[in-house]
Amino acid sequence: MPHKVSLADKFALFDDHWAPRLAARYNGNEVRIAKLEGDFHWHQHDATDELFLVIEGELDIEFRDRVATLKAGEMIVIPSGTEHFPRAKKGEVKVMIMDAEGTPNTGNEETAFKPVEV
């Protein structure tokens, strides 16, 4: 049976950064939420696109040739195979990320954070 999800309630359940949590699943995809602070690292996802939607704060996503700055309510789809470097600009950023089920957040299975449901 369908049920609504409160992102605010889900974000209140954890405090760590760069550790995505599963908020929902649909059609073989995962809706992940994460709190970000500071820098992540350069990586890419070879087999799938990745969507970032900023819920709160401001996020820079660096590409090799430019920087995209996202504010609350803005999103970007990063095509598969595109190197990117996420960076929380000023303090904590809350994001929703959509990935194909099982996609490692680091682009590399060995270093990935395994998202758990919240």
107 has pLDDT over 80: no
End-to-end Cα spacing for the chain: 18
Domains and CATH numbers, the chain: 7-106 (2.60.120.10)
- Mean pLDDT of all residues belonging to the chain: 91
Span 44-97, pLDDT tens digits: 989 899 999 999 999 999 999 999 999 999 999 999 999 999 999 899 999 999
Would you state the pLDDT for residue 7?
A: 96
Provide the whole-model pTM: 0.90
**Smallest Cα–Cα separation from 107: which of 53, 54, 50, 56?**
50
With cut-offs at 50, 70 and 90, classify the pLDDT of residue 102.
confident
